[in-house]
Structure 1
Amino acid sequence: MAMIEAGECVTANIEAGMTPAVALFRSLADETRLRIVQRLAVGEARVVDLTGELGLAQSTVSKHLACLRDCGLVDYRTEGRQSFYALSRPELMDLLRAAEGVLTATGATVALCPTYGSPGTAAVVG
């Protein structure tokens, strides 16, 4: 599956015939975006904080934050010349906890799925 570029999240996916639910789950399907969401669940962060904590390039973090903003999942506030990012939908963490419950209940079945899984890897939602 091709990676979703910034600006493509919900609007372009819905225009392409996807339901909003499909667009939401596609926006969360990227490991980097999921890691950013998990980090922002702890509290707001600047791009520089995320690059250091997640070990990612600034351009990568910025691109994924733009996607999450386009999806309405992340927002930011400015303070001087700095932007602080935070989850705009805290209930997203309830969804991720529910996903963790499904993953726990199904064991390695999702990771071993011949269509979407990778043998020998387990999905973790924190």
Structure 2
Amino acid sequence: MTMTSTPGTAANPSGNEGLGVAAALFHGLSDPSRLAILQHLTLGEHRVRDLTEHLGLAQSTVSTHLACLRDCGLVVSRPEGRASIFSLTSAPQLLGVLDAAEQLLAVSGYAVALCPNYGIGTEGSPAADQLRAHAGRDAGE
């Protein structure tokens, strides 16, 4: 399955084959704390303790998100003494996805932040107002 194959073709006869798996991947990436952890792991291997100190998150939060990322196949761990050392499983591919997401956000003017279902701001919030003003300038308003 490729995400870019045309629905209803020989390459993708059902039109949605495997999209559930792709949606699960994006759901695994959908939490800001998980993204921060992944971003930090692009710098190299880290212990839970290192991540809690660098990211300012609680140990239980980091551990929970690392378990999710491990279950999604995005990170692996290896024991080192009493600690576990975490690293990315497919760093080049993951970096490609994150880079593509940053490019998509930039060309869309970060409009997804205003999405009523998944956006970061609510009506009247400073973040939403700022994004609307930015989008208006980009559209020539």
Shorter-chain TM-score bucket reads 0.7 to 0.9
| Aligned equivalents of 1:115, 1:81: Cα separation in 2 | 42
1:21 Cα deviation after fit? 0.3
Structure 1 residue matching 2:112: 3-state secondary structure:
coil
Alpha-carbon shift at residue 108 of structure 1 (Å): 2.9
Task: Indicate the structure with greater helix content.
Answer: 2
Q: TM-score, normalised to structure 2's length?
A: 0.70
**Structure 2 segments unaligned to the other structure (5+ residues):** 1-18, 122-126, 132-141
Q: Secondary structure at the match of 2:120?
A: coil
Does the C-alpha gap of structure 1 residues 118 and 80 become closer, same or farther in structure 2, counting only changes over 3 Å? closer
1:71, CA displacement in angstroms? 0.4
Residue type of the partner of 1:73? L
CA RMSD of aligned residues (A): 1.7
Within 5 Å, which residues of 2 pair with 1:1-126? 19-90=20-91, 91-119=93-121, 120=127
Question: How many residues are aligned here?
Answer: 106
Shift of 1:115: 2.2
What is the alpha-carbon distance in structure 1 between the residues aligned to residue 38 and residue 86 of structure 2? Answer: 10
Q: C-alpha offsets along residues 48-103 of structure 1, whole Å, 9 cap, x if unaligned?
A: 00000000111111011000000000001112222110001111111000000000
Please list every run of 5 or more consecutive structure 1 residues that lacks an aligned counterpart in the other structure.
1-17
Q: Percent identity?
A: 55
| Deviation of the 1:112 alpha carbon | 1.4
Aligned to 1:92, the other structure's residue is in SS state: helix
Q: Which has the higher contact order (CA 8 A, sep 6+)?
A: 1
Q: What residue identity is the alignment partner of 2:60?
A: S
